[in-house]
Amino acid sequence: MHKKTKSMLLIIVFLISGLLCSCSLANLNTKNQISQPISSELTIWAYYKDSEEKINKAFSDQEPNVTIDVVPIPWADYENKFQVALAGGADLPDILMTESYWWGKWLNLKGAFDELSQYGINEKDIFSAASSTIRNKQGEFIVVPVATGVGCIWYRKDLAMKYLNTSDSDEMEKVLKTWDDFMELGSRIKAMSNNSEYLFPDTMSVEEFLIASDKNYMDGNTIHLRDRLLPRFKLIEDMIKKGYIAKVQGIEINQSYLKGNVMFYPYADWHGEFIKGIDENGKGKWGVMKPPGTIFYRGGYGYVIPKKSKKENKLMAAKRVNFVLTKEGSEAVINTNQMSAYKNAYTDEVLKLKDDYFEENLIMKFYTWFDSSNKKLKYSEYDDVIEKELRRQAYNIMNTNINAQQALDNAQKELEQSFDKNIIFAK
């Protein structure tokens, strides 16, 4: 009996050990039996570090023994650094942030990123508007969207009171329904301030905002510059000529937030986090309003796992990626002033939260705008090249004597050198 009892105990211990092992893998959200060690040290490349640090802090509540190194890569260098690392197969991080500019291009890379469903990451947890932006050309699920930027205009409440007699966003939206309304306001600001206060800081932010509002510059392989973008560039040209743009650049843009001589900053929901960092003593000084016309997406980013990243880190990297598609992870994303791409993120509890710095319920405001939009996310493999060139030409309008037509002519000449003959430029 003693030998039989001992044997039975050994069998029970063996079964319990196997069960614990299975539970451990299940907790890592793995669907397949992937036999590899699990690392507790991860690396994420980030062009904006603060948001990732906040998400990592929330993740550490679930995985306190995991160390995540966020490596800051300047936005201007990020894509090139990735391409160099990809070609060499070395120094790739465990997780890459993919920004909207590069997103479409990365979806066209073959064999660069892991298929995420193998780790149990469920694409059904992602909001439906992103359904066309998560798979590569081979049909593999490779991108988890983290946040989707909602285009909006941030403003200084003191200047709003001065020139509109209100700082309430609902009231401001009633009188600023079109860009013509903004132009009329620009004239008032110029006259009343004796050319010392302005509508917008620079031409590049306005150009990016206008392009994002309707990214219709391509039909298939045909680029429409003059016929579709010229009115938007003429608007920028008109603002410059009439003195409605401050023409600040570099560090001067950051200083303008504190100087208080620019009324509007056209970006997206995520810019709120930037304002908090720049104007630390600006509690209650800032508001945010809808753009003229319809709601649109502006920016946003996702995660990918490079195929050539360290094998021992894959499972934990996948768990960190999947974290943003959970209640706790999505709340961390929302707390960075971004719209979470997790479809179940916006519970009644979350929607009631108030932002102490901006002194209003920004989450409810952005969610209401976001929920009313029927647009789908769309990223082209040409976005990066085209929009960088358009940004450069908008800068040239501000700093040289070229007009809108010349800016787009210059853009076409540069883009013709970047693309092969399969790309057609509409006349």
Query: Domain with 105 in it: what CATH number?
Result: 3.40.190.10
Q: What is the mean pLDDT of each run of 10 residues along the chain (427 residues)?
A: 42 41 42 52 92 95 94 92 84 92 91 96 92 91 94 98 98 97 98 97 97 91 92 98 96 96 97 94 97 90 95 95 97 92 94 94 90 76 92 96 95 92 88
Secondary structure (3-state) at 54: helix
Residue 182 CB contacts under 8 Å (≥ 6 apart), including other chains: 176, 199, 264, 292
Q: Residue 162: enclosing H or E segment and its boundaries?
A: helix 157-164
Within a domain: 116: yes
Same domain, 322 and 426: no
d(CA 364, CA 368): 6
Within a domain: 137: yes
Within a domain: 99: yes
Quote the domain boundaries for residue 72: 35-148+299-357
Number of domains in the chain: 2
Confidence at residue 22, expressed as pLDDT on a 0 to 100 scale: 39
Within a domain: 178: no
Task: Find out whether 260 and 159 touch, Cβ atoms under 8 Å.
Answer: yes
Same domain, 337 and 397: no
Tokens of 208: 């990016």
Within a domain: 340: yes
Residue 389 CB contacts under 8 Å (≥ 6 apart), including other chains: 411, 414, 415, 418
28: DSSP letter: T
Within a domain: 229: yes
Tokens 């063996």 found at: 14
pTM of the model: 0.87
Same domain, 42 and 89: yes
Same domain, 393 and 345: no
Same domain, 58 and 207: no
Task: Find out whether 95 and 43 touch, Cβ atoms under 8 Å.
Answer: yes
Angle, CA of 88, 89 and 93, to the nearest 5°? 120
Same domain, 217 and 128: no
Same domain, 325 and 405: no
Within a domain: 49: yes
Burial 192-211, CB ≥16 within 10 A → b, else e: eeeeebbbbbbbbbbbbbbb
Within a domain: 419: yes
Same domain, 99 and 139: yes
d(CA 397, CA 414): 16
Backbone angles phi, psi at 9, to 5 degrees: -65, -40
Same domain, 140 and 45: yes
Tokens 């329904």 found at: 177
> Last residue of some domain: 342, 357, 372?
357
Neighbours of 413 (CB within 10 A): 11
Same domain, 407 and 352: no
Confidence at residue 88, expressed as pLDDT on a 0 to 100 scale: 80
Q: What strand order describes the sheet that includes 424-425?
A: 218-219, 222-223, 424-425
Same domain, 309 and 397: no
Same domain, 402 and 352: no
Closest CA to 150 of 268, 279, 13: 268
